[in-house]
């Protein structure tokens, strides 16, 4: 099992360019997440998908869109990149399902994005 994979690992964009970060998991998990990590801020939730076909905003959704393409894949799109979106982006997944049941969250290796 590859676990959670992310592409690309590094990306440099110019202000105003668009791009899509890809995430896939092979653990048959229901729930998937996108976080951003900034120095001194920890990880903050951008969007999440509790199950295939559903997406919800997290703490910092502005400037981003997501697509839960199927159960395996959850992509994050920047339509018009801004320098404030320079960050490390993490995708994560968890089995999901019953509330009150512990489910470990598994993280991808991250994408370092720089917007000039």
Q: Which of 9, 68, 62, 79 is nearest to 33 (CA)?
A: 68
> 52, 55, 58, 61: which one contacts other proteins (CB under 8 A)?
58
> 64, 90, 113, 115: which one contacts other proteins (CB under 8 A)?
90
φ/ψ region of 6 (left if φ > 0, alpha if ψ in -120 to 50, else beta) reads beta
**Minimum Å distance from CB 102 to other proteins?**
6
With binding defined as CB under 8 A, does residue 64 bind other proteins? no
Q: DSSP character for 80?
A: S
3-state secondary structure of 84: helix
With binding defined as CB under 8 A, does residue 22 bind other proteins? no
With binding defined as CB under 8 A, does residue 87 bind other proteins? no
**Minimum Å distance from CB 62 to other proteins?**
18
**CA distance linking residue 9 with residue 111, whole number of Å:** 4
With binding defined as CB under 8 A, does residue 99 bind other proteins? yes
With binding defined as CB under 8 A, does residue 107 bind other proteins? yes
Contacts of 70 (CB under 8 A, 6+ apart): 52
Rg of the chain in Å (alpha carbons): 14
Interface with other proteins (CB under 8 A): 31, 33, 40-45, 48, 50, 58, 88, 90, 92, 94, 96, 99-100, 102-105, 107, 109-110, 112
């Amino acid at each position: 099992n590859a676990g959670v994979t992310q592409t690309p690992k590094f990306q440099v964009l110019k202000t105003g360019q668009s791009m899509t970060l890809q995430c896939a998991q092979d653990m048959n998990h229901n729930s998937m997440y996108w976080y951003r990590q900034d120095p001194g801020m920890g990880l903050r939730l951008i969007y999440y998908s509790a199950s295939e076909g559903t997406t919800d905003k997290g703490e910092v959704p502005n400037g981003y869109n997501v697509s839960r393409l199927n159960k395996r894949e959850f992509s994050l799109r920047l339509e018009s990149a801004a320098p404030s979106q320079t960050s490390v982006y993490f995708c994560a997944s968890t089995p999901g399902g019953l509330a009150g049941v512990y489910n470990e969250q598994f993280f991808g290796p991250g994408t370092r994005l720089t917007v000039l």
